Amino acid sequence: MEALPQMTREQLNEQVKTGKTMLFFSATWCPDCAFIKPAMPEIEAEYPDYRFLAVDRDENIDLAVDLNVLGIPSFIAYNNGEEIGRFVNKDRKTKKEVETFIDGLN
């Protein structure tokens, strides 16, 4: 998964303006992020039409606040620059829950 460098909302808009993109917000200290992280390569492989970007919440705290990402791990999906869904809360997320979220986007 490609790591998103520190950036502004305007720079993010450039990153997500074409195709399908899935942002994965997490942090190194977050136990619930560590829980889902091992499943992420499998999830990425199951959804090859999405470009997955890992967003370190601590490196991109301003971006997280701007996008109203108050809990991690969290996911925000874009299609050609438009947000099409979000799975944003403070709860631990299972592989099945993430897959159900992505399946519901289509």
Domain count, the chain: 1
Sheet holding 50-56, edge to edge: 2-3, 50-56, 20-26, 74-79, 82-87
Q: Give the CATH number of the domain where residue 14 resides.
A: 3.40.30.10
Structural domain of residue 80, as residue ranges? 2-103
**Between the CA atoms of 71, 59, 56 and 103, what dihedral angle is there, to the nearest 10 degrees?**
60
Q: What is the enclosing helix (H) or strand (E) of 34?
A: helix 31-36
pTM of the model: 0.93
Q: Does 106 have pLDDT greater than 70?
A: no
**Between the CA atoms of 76, 78, 83 and 88, what dihedral angle is there, to the nearest 10 degrees?**
-10
> To the nearest whole number, what is the mean pLDDT of the chain?
94
pLDDT digits (tens, 9 = 90+) for 25-77: 999 999 999 999 999 999 999 999 999 999 999 999 999 999 999 899 999 99
